[in-house]
Every structure is written in structure tokens, then in C-alpha cells.
Amino acid sequence: MNKSYLKIYNNLVNLTTNKKLYANLNEQDTFSDRLTLFLFHFAFLLKNLKDKENKKTLQELYDFNFRQIELSIREIGYGDQSINKKMKDYINLFHSIVSDIHFWSSDDFKEKEKKISKFLINFGNIAELTNYFNEFDDFLSKKTLNSYLKSVSNQ
């Protein structure tokens, strides 16, 4: 296991547990809500750091993160068959998010809100989340993968 991957994973978890993200939740947050926010953070990270030179490292990071998610699902108490189905669902969700945010920088604000609300239906104020992910995307665009692997810092 690469310790820098664990640092990145833990940093994404910390960003996902930011209480401000859940301020306008329509109901009690669920594991699925938290995981969807994690997947958004991870998707933005991969979107901003991908290039040919980083391909192998990002694939390893992808594999590591999904192994960690699987372990979290096991800790919740799901059985082996349920875990396989859940993992397939979450991987498909992640790839849908990646696909939707691919042109994030060129989308207008309303289009971004539409994309976020498609995945985060329990959240009340999508505009705040859209602003948050605009800022997060901007923050990531100024970083390199190397800066994350050497020293991961919170936004």
C-alpha cells in the first residue's frame, strides 16, 4: 500500500465530512449521500490531475480508493453478494459523475447545478454545492499530482 494514496484518500474523506456540505440536507444524511460527495471530490481530483504521465499512478489511486470503499461497505455489515452489487452501483455512479463533470469548466452555472442535483437529490441548496465544487475545481487546477503524493493538505 502506498502511504501517499492513503493520505489522499483520507484528505478526500475529510473534505467530504465538511459539515457545511450537509447544512441544507432535506433529511438525515446517509452513507450513500456521503459516498456520493466523496465520489464528486474524487472525480474532480482525477479530472484535474489526469495526463499521460500520471495515468499509471492515477489508476493505482483509483484502485486504492475503491478498495477502501469496499472495506467501508464491509464494515457496515453487508454480505459478499450485497457488496458486489453495491460496488458495481458505486463504480457506475462514479463514472457517471466523471462523465458529467468532464466539461465542468465550460458549463454555465445552471448546467452545473443540474448536474449536481442529478446525483445529490437530498440536498436543498444546490447553488451552494455548485459554488463549493467550482472553488474546489479551481483549487485543484492549480496543483500537480506530485504535490498531492508528497504532501496532501486540506483545501
Each residue of 97-118: pLDDT tens digit? 999 999 999 999 999 999 999 9
Alpha carbons 74 and 123: distance in angstroms, whole number: 26
Look up cell 465538511; give the residue: 18
Angstrom distance (rounded) from CA 142 to CA 32 = 30
Is the distance from CB of 87 to CB of 67 less than 8 angstroms?
Answer: no
Residue 127 grid cell: 447553488
Instruction: Encode pLDDT of 28-52 as tens digits.
Output: 888 888 999 999 999 999 999 887 6
Q: Please report, rounded to a whole number, the percentage of residues in the chain having pLDDT higher than 70.
A: 94
